[in-house]
């Protein structure tokens, strides 16, 4: 029997803030597995070489965060369809001697949303994506896969929303100007915040969520703070809400399975433990 501990980790620059080790080590402990999951600080100018060298180590795989996601994609021998959809990778693993670039953000975003809204309702609900960065790309890919009938996108820099629409080039996906955000909010049954607006230490998001129709669904990808102003106001306005920690957990599950060969346990729910770690300044 091999005495080598299964080692995986998360790469970024900086990386000390990542909660991924807390989550993966929690699951390892719950399952009684002998592996470990650690932070790897990887300089961007050394990243491609570091990723390529994974094949010559006993590290089973790594998650990848900012600013290394494009470099991880480039460094791999092959990319999975989900990674190709997004053009970046947040998960590198080894298969048959090859380094594979995957992206778990599509699944991570979609799984909690399907659980909360149901696939049928989703396929009948027009959506609004606020934000035009990396997270918004995962949201677009997931909503298209879920057959959401109409997907609007807005961003405080209009040109970025228009550029995404040009790239995706699907009739059901279109941009609205930031100046028309009130109308967009009022007309969408699913509203997703994929911006950093409202994150702890960052300026608030300038969106009037009270204009949303009662019963609309508001999904904020931010998880610090736990209850963003957007979610608090949305609740007051009679909307259903979902916070970003659900996505954080759901995007980690497929990585765990790839790295350790076991399904992450559904219970106990790691949410409270993650919030405690966030509070303690992890």
The set of catalytic residues is 69
Instruction: Confirm if 240 and 216 have CB atoms less than 8 A apart.
Output: yes
Q: How far is the CB of 136 from ligand NAP (least distance, A)?
A: 6
Rounded Cα distance, 225 and 196, in Å? 11
Instruction: Confirm if 256 and 27 have CB atoms less than 8 A apart.
Output: yes
Nearer to ligand NAP, 28 or 248 (CB): 248
Specify the residue for token string 């997931």. Answer: 142
Nearest to 274 by CA among 68, 27, 92: 27
Q: How far is the CB of 229 from ligand NAP (least distance, A)?
A: 11
Nearer to ligand NAP, 18 or 195 (CB): 195
Q: How far is the CB of 81 from ligand NAP (least distance, A)?
A: 20
Nearest to 37 by CA among 54, 27, 25: 25
Give the residue at shortest CB distance from ligand NAP.
133
Q: How far is the CB of 196 from ligand NAP (least distance, A)?
A: 4
Starting at the edge strand found earlier in the chain, the sheet holding 36-41 runs: 36-41, 7-12, 59-64, 91-95, 98-102, 78-79
Residue ranges binding ligand NAP (CB under 6 A)? 108, 131-136, 155-157, 160, 194-197, 199, 202-203, 205, 221-223, 244, 247-248, 251
Nearer to ligand NAP, 7 or 273 (CB): 273
Instruction: Confirm if 187 and 126 have CB atoms less than 8 A apart.
Output: yes
Rounded Cα distance, 135 and 164, in Å? 12
Nearer to ligand NAP, 79 or 251 (CB): 251
Tokens matching residue 150? 């109409």
């Amino acid at each position: 029997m091999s005495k080598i501990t299964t080692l995986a980790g998360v790469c970024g620059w900086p990386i000390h803030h990542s909660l991924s080790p807390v989550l993966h080590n929690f699951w390892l402990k719950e399952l009684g597995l002998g592996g470990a999951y650690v932070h790897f600080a990887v300089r961007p100018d050394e990243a491609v070489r570091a990723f390529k060298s994974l094949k010559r180590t006993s590290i089973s795989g790594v998650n990848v965060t900012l600013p290394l996601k494009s470099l991880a994609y480039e460094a791999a021998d092959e990319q999975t369809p989900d990674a190709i959809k997004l053009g970046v990778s947040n998960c590198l693993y080894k298969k048959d001697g090859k380094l594979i670039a995957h992206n778990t953000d599509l699944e991570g975003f979609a799984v909690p949303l399907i659980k909360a809204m149901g696939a049928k309702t989703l396929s009948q609900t027009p959506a609004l994506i606020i934000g035009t960065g990396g997270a918004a790309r995962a949201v677009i890919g997931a909503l298209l896969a879920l057959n959401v009938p109409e997907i609007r996108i807005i961003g405080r820099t209009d040109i970025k929303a228009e550029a995404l629409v040009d790239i995706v080039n699907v009739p059901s996906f279109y941009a609205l100007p930031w100046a028309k955000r009130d109308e967009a909010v009022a007309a969408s049954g699913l509203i997703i915040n994929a911006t950093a607006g409202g994150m702890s230490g960052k300026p608030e998001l300038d969106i009037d969520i009270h204009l949303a129709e009662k019963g609309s669904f508001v999904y904020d990808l931010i998880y610090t703070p736990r209850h963003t102003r957007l979610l608090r106001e949305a609740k007051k306005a009679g909307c259903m809400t979902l916070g970003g920690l659900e996505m954080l957990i759901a995007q980690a599950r497929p990585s765990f399975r790839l790295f350790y060969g076991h399904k992450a346990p559904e219970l106990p729910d790691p949410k409270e433990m993650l919030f405690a770690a966030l509070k303690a300044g992890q």
